[in-house]
Structure formats: structure tokens, C-alpha cells
Amino acid sequence: MFAKSEMSSRLKDLEKHLKREHPVLSEVVQGFRVLDTVCRRMGYFHREESYATRTSWWPLISILGLYSSGKSSFINHFLNYRLQATGNQAVDEKFTVICYTNEKDVRVLPGLALDADPRFPVFKISQAIEEVAAGEGERVDAYLQLKTCPSDRLRSKILIDSPGFDADAQRTSTLKITDHIIDISDLVLVFFDARHPESGSMRDTLEHLVKRTLNRRDSNKFIYILNQIDATAREDNTDEVFASWQRALAQSGLTAGTCHALFLPEAAIPIEDPGLRARLESKRDASLKDIFRRIEQVGVERAYRIVGILEQTVKTVDQEIRPLLGRFIRNWRRRVLLPETIIAAIGLAAFFGLTIWAGYWEGWRLNLPLWDRLPWGHYTRPGLVALLILGAGYLHFRLRNWAARRTIAGMLKKIDNTDLHPNYTRAFQRNSRWYRSLFFKQPAGWNKRTGQKLAQILDDANGYIQKLNDMYTNPSGRAQEAAPTVLSDTRSAEGNTDIG
């Protein structure tokens, strides 16, 4: 009996949790399980890797931005709870994952609590940190922390508060976490400071955050917020400040996403002009209402997002990973067969040339005088042939290994996403093992049944979408039975912290 893998146990716990919180998504986990099995057989995944851990299963809102741009104040305002420390200087250098608890007291837990739990969005982030900064993966507590908060607004969602953003000053590992969080978030709030709209930090943020959203399919999940606009009310025209900031975004190529100007009531600077104050407060209230509505909507968007990720992952495996492995097999085969053909041709030409020149051919019969002088009679001849075969086999497998290394190195250079290099390296090596024939056309672990499994996952994904539509829509307008609440207050089986 094979020992049950740690990942298998964690996915089982995830399914149990989702059955209580969102039954449709608990079915989606099985689709990821099938994909994981396919990728393991291809060598693309190791035993403890899973596509299910590469996405957040709970509504996730990430809050990014410059130092002193009011991120922490906004979080406290949204939660109606003073959770995050605020100030004009950097008050926290860690990524803070915030989730609900039914306890009265706030708890601050180390980054290890996040890195080791697949239900959280930064599961195994230490491995990604280690790949870009050797030795830093062991210091995950220096990058991450988990905070629990009893605010009812946190039920069924997770917030991530990032440290103040400065692309030039931050380490590669910090930027790595930032990119990962952006990828898995349902909603991304990017804060700028209206008091310093043209700072170098803003330009760094535009370069790293804004430009990278241009070609994203989910670019509409970004909300750009010019915060503390009230600070400009005395000296400047706030409309001009906001328009100038929007032009800076547009110059960076921003074509999607929503823009708002804000100031929070509890941190507002007194505005003496009552007309201006009323106008700014009216705009602020409308903006806050829109932002809060988007935050509350992420529960629905999250379900569709995960099913969409399942579909996209199937297409990635079938249309990107499999063809790339097939190309590796063809290139590897060519690197082996071409030299062998040349060596064999040269060897045969030399053999026939020498024997013809020496006159060892009698018509079509080869008569080597050396054969009659060999010791042990006829037993030596098969032995020499066996030695020749063994020598040829040794050279063949040395050439196979050399060709595999060269082919792997060449193909990795063409794969832009360096995060995937370990996966492709493992898969390439699986397809070039000593027992794999050069003439296999399909990658290791791939057959007709594999294609059928992927097609079934796509069919199932369409069914999941229909189930979600039945939960959230009613085109006919007919009366329906009350649907089960899918974004309920779900307590974790491990304790009082609610991560659902």
C-alpha cells in the first residue's frame, strides 16, 4: 500500500470545508484532482503539487499601494474596527492576511500558519521565495503574518494588506509575493497618495502594477484609488489633481479598471468652504459605496473565477504543456538520431573501404583472416559481437543523456515564465529516461484516455457554470425554492478562526 500523500489529505480537508461553505466548488476540487494526476504522470508535477493550491478558494481582496497612502486607514474603516496601525511612515513591512474569527480578541499568527495551510492564498509561498532568493524561504515569518478580526464584514472573505510599495527598494522576494497575490485576487485595490501624486514611488508603482495589467484577462478587477484627496482642497483644485492623476495612469497604458478619489471621514482635514466640503463628501460617499459593493460581490465572482481557472488550466495542459513536451521529444530524437546516423555511416564507410582495399571480399562474401586466428574457436566471435553491441549501447545512452541535457537547456531558454522551469525540467527528464523509446510520439503519461479525461473536465466545468447560474439568476422569473446560502459564516474545523 502506498502512503497517502500530504497533499491528498489536504485536498480532502478542503473538499469537506467547501461542502459546508459552497457545495458547487467542492465538486470543482475533483476536477483539479484529475488534472493533478495527469500532470504527475507526465512528470510535470511532483507528489505534493496541485493546481488546487495555486488559487484562492475564498473571496480574496488585496490592498496594495504606496507608503502613507492610507491603506491601513481604509481597512479599519471598512471593517469598522481599529485593526491596522496607521501612520505617515511604513508601519508594517509584512504582508498581512486578515480573516474572520468569532473570538473577541485579535490574534497575530506567524507566516508559517499561512505557508502550511492550503486553504489560504499563499500556501507554499516559501518555495517560490526560495527560488528567487536562496535561503529566504526559511524566513517566511519575515514576509507574512495572519491576523484574525471579529468584524462581521470579514465573514466569508479574506483581505491582504501589503507593505508600502516601492519597486526599486523592495527585494525580489517581496515583488514575487506581490505578483502572486495579484494573480489570485478577486479584487485589487491600488492606493495612491493625493499629497504626492507625482512621486518617484508612484512611477515605480505605475511601472510594476499598472503596466502589467494591460494584457490581463481580469484587468477589470483593479480599482485605482487616489486617497486623501481632502489634503489638496485648500491649495489646489481637487478636480484638477484627480484629472492629472488619471492622465498619469493613462500614460502608463491603463485602459481598464475603475478610478476613485477618496478621503476617510475619521481622518479628514477640516474644509472651511461648506459647498466644497459637501461636494467632496458626496463624491466620497458614492465612491465608498461603489467600492464596498464590489467587495461584497467578490463571493459570487470568486465561484465563477475558480471554474474559469479550471477550464483555463485544462486548456493549458492540452494546448501548451503537452505540445511543448512533444516538441522536446522531437528535438531530443533529432539530436540523438542525427549524430548516430552520421557515426554509423562513417563507421560503415570506413569498414567497407578498408576491407575492400585489403581484398577481404570474395564476391558478396567477407573473408576475414583474423577470424581463423582468434583463440577459443567459435566462442570468441559471438563474444566480440556482444562487446560491439554493448559498446554501441553505451555510446547510444551517453549520447541520449547528452542530447537530453542540451535539449532541456535550449527549451528552457524559450520559456519566459521561470517559475515553470522546475516543472518543465522534471517533465523533460521523465520523457528522456533510459527506458523511453526515441520513437514514442506522445509524452510520458499521455494517451487517448487522458484526452478523454480532459474533455470530461471541460464538460463538467460547463455543468458547474449552469449550477452557479441557477443559484444567482432566474431568467424565467418563476418563483423558486430558497437556495442554500453559499457565503455563510463557516467556522474552521481546526479552531475558532473562520477562513471561509
Is 213 a residue whose pLDDT tops 70? no
Is 295 a residue whose pLDDT tops 50? yes
Q: Are residues 229 and 90 in the same domain?
A: yes
Q: Looking at the domain assignment, is residue 396 inside a domain?
A: yes
Rounded distance between C-alpha atoms, residue 155 and residue 148, angstroms: 11
256 vs 222, higher pLDDT: 222
CA angle 55, 56, 60 (to 5 degrees): 135
Q: Are residues 266 and 360 in the same domain?
A: no
Angle between helices 274-316 and 23-42 (to 10 degrees): 50
Q: Could you identify the residue written with the cell 516538441?
A: 327
205 vs 85, higher pLDDT: 85
SS3 state of residue 446: coil
SS3 state of residue 226: strand
The confidence score (pLDDT) of residue 360 equals 77
Q: Are residues 360 and 239 in the same domain?
A: no
**168-182, 221-235, 332-346, 366-380 — most confident range:** 332-346
Q: Are residues 127 and 237 in the same domain?
A: yes
Rounded distance between C-alpha atoms, residue 234 and residue 251, angstroms: 27
Is 193 a residue whose pLDDT tops 70? yes
Is 393 a residue whose pLDDT tops 70? yes
Q: Are residues 221 and 75 in the same domain?
A: yes
Contact 51, 57 (CB under 8 A): no
Grid coordinates of 452: 478523454
Q: Looking at the domain assignment, is residue 283 inside a domain?
A: no
Q: Are residues 221 and 104 in the same domain?
A: yes
The confidence score (pLDDT) of residue 446 equals 94
Q: Are residues 247 and 388 in the same domain?
A: no
Q: Are residues 340 and 195 in the same domain?
A: no
Q: How does the average pLDDT of the chain come out, rounded?
A: 81
User: Given pLDDT bands bounded at 50, 70 and 90, which one contains residue 8?
Assistant: confident
The confidence score (pLDDT) of residue 268 equals 75
pTM more than 0.85: no
Grid coordinates of 220: 477589470
The confidence score (pLDDT) of residue 404 equals 95
Q: Are residues 234 and 368 in the same domain?
A: no
* 325-349 per-position pLDDT tens digit: 999 999 999 999 999 999 889 988 9
Q: Looking at the domain assignment, is residue 26 inside a domain?
A: no
Rounded distance between C-alpha atoms, residue 497 and residue 102, angstroms: 7
SS3 state of residue 99: strand
Q: Are residues 348 and 435 in the same domain?
A: yes
Which ranges in 359-482 belong to alpha helices (H)? 369-373, 380-412, 421-431, 448-472
* 437-494 per-position pLDDT tens digit: 999 989 999 999 999 999 999 999 999 999 989 888 766 666 555 444 444 333 333 3
Rounded distance between C-alpha atoms, residue 401 and residue 393, angstroms: 12
* 137-192 per-position pLDDT tens digit: 777 888 888 899 999 988 888 898 988 766 554 566 777 778 878 888 889 998 88
Q: Are residues 209 and 141 in the same domain?
A: yes
Q: Are residues 238 and 339 in the same domain?
A: no
Q: Looking at the domain assignment, is residue 375 inside a domain?
A: yes
Other CB atoms closer than 10 Å to residue 228's CB: what's the count?
24
Number of domains in the chain: 2
SS3 state of residue 315: helix
Q: Looking at the domain assignment, is residue 309 inside a domain?
A: no
Which DSSP helix (H) or strand (E) runs through 330? helix 322-358
391: alpha, beta or left? (left if phi > 0; alpha if psi -120 to 50): alpha
Closest among 159, 158, 128 to 143, alpha carbons compared: 128
Of 102-116, 388-402, 419-433, the poorest mean pLDDT is in: 102-116
Q: Looking at the domain assignment, is residue 103 inside a domain?
A: yes
Range of the domain at 205: 56-270
